[in-house]
Amino acid sequence: MNTKRVITIGGSLLMFSLSCALWLSRAQGIGSRVVRMAELEIDPAQLEAYKSALKEEIETSIRIEPGVLILYAVSLKENPAHIRILETYADIAAYKAHIEAPHFKRYKNLTQNMVKSLKLVETDPIVLGAKSK
């Protein structure tokens, strides 16, 4: 087999494999998911009040918003005032509905003077896995 034919076949197989992977990710619903990270720095003097407001917001969002799939909040061990939130939404419409929800707006209003900095990190989901409770 000549080199040109090998390259053509290899390229075709690569394109086929990528197409299958894209189809599979969309079939599993991964392609439409919105996944982002929020990196926050909280005023240490207001950390407990912030965590209380965050807990209420997350619990409400998970309970009443079907498009909010995951909201995980953690703090950095070496600096508890540095919070990271992993957010997963069913799609962009679910994300837009979330940021317009009354409970989210209340959380934003309540915590605006507690948050010293906020960085939103956009991501492209590759593999999303979790065990059920």
Strands 115-122 and 68-76, sheet pairing: unpaired
pLDDT in the model for residue 29 = 59
Check if CATH label 3.30.1490.100 holds for domain 34-122. no
- What pLDDT tens digit does each residue of the chain (133 aa) get? 565 554 555 444 445 444 444 444 444 457 799 999 999 999 999 999 999 999 999 999 999 999 999 999 999 999 999 999 999 999 999 999 999 999 999 999 999 999 999 999 999 988 888 887 7
- How much is the pTM? 0.76
Nearest-angstrom CA–CA distance, 99 and 29:
21
Q: Say if residue 119 is exposed, middle or buried (CB neighbours under 10 Å; 0-12, 13-18, 19+).
A: exposed
**Length of the chain measured in residues:** 133
